[in-house]
Amino acid sequence: MNPEAQALYEDMKIHLGKFVPDFELYYKAEIAVEINALKKERNAVILGHNYMEPVLFYSIPDFKGDSLDLSRKAATTDKDVIVFCGVKFMAETAKILNPSKTVLLPAEKAGCSLAESITAEDVRALKRKYPGVPVVTYVNTYADVKAESDICCTSGNAIAVVESLKSDTVIFLPDKYLAGNVARETGKHIIFPSISPSPIIASSGGEMRKGDEENLLDVQLIGWNGRCEVHEKFTVEDIRAVRKQFPDVAVLTHPECPPEVVAEADYSGSTNAMIKFVQQSNAPHFLVLTECSMGDNIAAANPEKDLLRLCMVRCPHMNMITMENVRDSLLHNRQVIEVPEEIRVRAFQAVDRMIKIG
Ligand code: SF4
């Protein structure tokens, strides 16, 4: 093993040795050294989402964080190449913000169930149905959907973005549960209109089957039926079962979880906000209901904290990003993300407005 890889292995052993077997640390330390050399050669920056697997997350990103953080980093980088260790909509956002840079996504098929739940034509249909109503889209959407929107949001700033519009009614797409949680927090009523794939009406986060939503007088959020295939799987029963065994556990949820799960938890926030909560809280145990690599990453960074595992769901899309394909993306310049200029310019306005709100 070369000395650089040996030093990296020893460092990773200290921080990740509880989660990752030695042979994997050895193997990946050598790849990390190759990646770091390629990064220099290509004048590249590597952005790593909080859901990356622990060794990759620990060893190669120049910047780590949630979608909003990484969008901000992407907007200010002076490097020629951006390698996005995340999923396609994130790499597209980096390209939207940096049209002159080469943006690489190491796994071509790293998608997202939320991004795939809605098309630009769906948004245009909603705008025809509700003319003049502003459209907020979650950043977990593709560029052509962002281009149809007035402003984007992340899970961390969704409420601030909705409130910034100062509009009685807002179209909020595409995450049904994030919309439900925004409605719950703000006391707004929400409908999921009939052009949605599976019509449902909900009020303040609680659902009822569709009647005639046009008769509702106080509609304030118009949602969509998209769901994160990871966060939708957590249940209230999961939380109650863990509390039975660990009554003093602090339960943290992501706002992409169903509203009743969020209501049962002690705290809900973006991935970054959850990390901060764990760092600042003295709770004897933590249960973090989100993508399971993030639990490992928080535990690695906070060895004095007791992170309980309810790791039943690894995001299959995030899981496609590996050390090997990050190295190959730099080596062979793949997969290059392109966004047609006409779409990019309109999507940029929506993303830029979001970044300015913070
Ligand atoms: S965790 Fe959910 S929202 Fe995030 S990329 Fe995976 S499917 Fe999409």
Point out the ligand 1 atom lying closest to the alpha carbon of residue 175: 3
Q: For residue 104, report the phi and psi dihedrals to the nearest 5 degrees.
A: -115, 135
Rounded Cα distance, 95 and 72, in Å: 12
Q: Is pLDDT above 50 for 317?
A: yes
Across 221-243, average pLDDT:
95
Residue 202 confidence (pLDDT) above 80: no
Distance from Cα 178 to the centre of ligand 1, integer Å:
13
Is the distance from the beta carbon of residue 290 to the nearest atom of ligand 1 less than 6 Å? Answer: no
Instruction: Decide: 87 in ligand 1 pocket, CB within 6 A.
Output: yes
Q: Residue 168 burial (CB < 10 Å; 0-12/13-18/19+)?
A: exposed
User: What would the mean pLDDT of 61-66 be, rounded to a whole number?
Assistant: 93
User: What is the atom index within ligand 1 of the atom nearest the CA of 291?
Assistant: 1
Q: Which atom of ligand 1 is nearest to the CA of 112?
A: 8
What is the pLDDT averaged over residues 33-50? 96
Look at the alpha carbons of 194, 195, 198, 201 in this order and tell me if their dihedral is positive or negative: negative
Substitution site in 67, 114, 141 for ligand 1 pocket (most atoms within 8 Å of beta carbon)? 114
Span 217-221, mean pLDDT? 73
Write down the CATH number for the domain with range 231-308.
3.40.50.10800
Q: What mean pLDDT, rounded, does the chain reach? A: 90
- Per-residue pLDDT band at 219 (split at 50, 70, 90): low
pLDDT at residue 57 above 50? Answer: yes
Is any atom of ligand 1 closer than 6 Å to the C-beta of 113? yes
211 CA to middle of ligand 1, Å? 31
For residue 140, report the distance from its CA to the centre of ligand 1, in Å: 8
Closest residue by CA, ligand 1 atom 6: 315
Beta carbon of 228 within 6 Å of any ligand 1 atom: yes
- Asked if 153 contacts 234 with a C-beta cutoff of 8 angstroms, the reply is no
Answer yes or no: is the C-beta of 232 below 6 A from any ligand 1 atom.
no
Backbone angles phi, psi at 148, to 5 degrees: -90, 0
* Cα–ligand 1 centroid distance for 89 (angstroms): 10
User: Measured from the CB, is residue 291 less than 6 Å from ligand 1?
Assistant: yes
Average pLDDT over residues 236-264: 95
Residue 204 has a pLDDT of 45
In degrees to the nearest 10, what's the CA dihedral of 261, 267, 268, 273?
-150
Looking at per-residue pLDDT, the higher value among 215 and 110 belongs to: 110
- Alpha-carbon distance of 142 to 119, in angstroms, equals 8
The answer, yes or no, to whether residue 3 has pLDDT greater than 70, is yes
Please name the residues in contact with 178: beta carbons below 8 A apart, sequence gap of 6 or more: 138, 155, 158, 172, 255, 256
More confident position, 15 or 309: 15
Q: Provide the pLDDT confidence category of residue 217 given band limits of 50, 70 and 90.
A: low
When pLDDT is cut at 50, 70 and 90, the band that residue 334 belongs to is very high
Q: Is 230 in the pocket of ligand 1 (CB under 6 A)?
A: yes
pLDDT at 159: 92
Least confident residue range of 119-123, 216-220, 289-293, 342-346: 216-220
Pick from 46-55, 67-76, 111-120, 283-292: least confident: 67-76
CA 82, distance to chain mean position in Å, is 18
Pocket of ligand 1 contains residue 114 by CB under 6 Å: yes
The CATH number of 115-227, from 3.40.50.10800, 3.40.140.10, 2.60.40.1180, 3.40.1690.10, is 3.40.50.10800
Distance 183 CA to ligand 1 centre (A): 21
Pocket probe for ligand 1: among 229, 297, 311, the residue whose CB has the most ligand atoms within 8 Å is 229
Decide if 3-110+318-332 and 231-308 have a common fold. Answer: yes
Between the CA of 135 and the centroid of ligand 1 the distance, in Å, is 21
Q: Where are the domains of the chain?
A: 3-110+318-332, 115-227, 231-308
- Confidence check: pLDDT of 29 > 80: yes
Q: What atom in ligand 1 is closest to the CA of residue 113?
A: 7
Picking from 124, 113, 59, the residue whose alpha carbon sits closest to that of residue 85 is 59
Spatial CA neighbour of 92 closest among 56, 146, 38:
146
Q: Could you tell me if the CB of 112 is within 6 A of ligand 1?
A: yes
Of the listed ranges 36-50, 116-130, 192-206, the one predicted with least confidence: 192-206
Hey, which CATH number is domain 3-110+318-332, 3.40.50.10800, 3.40.50.300, 3.40.50.150, 1.20.1050.10? 3.40.50.10800
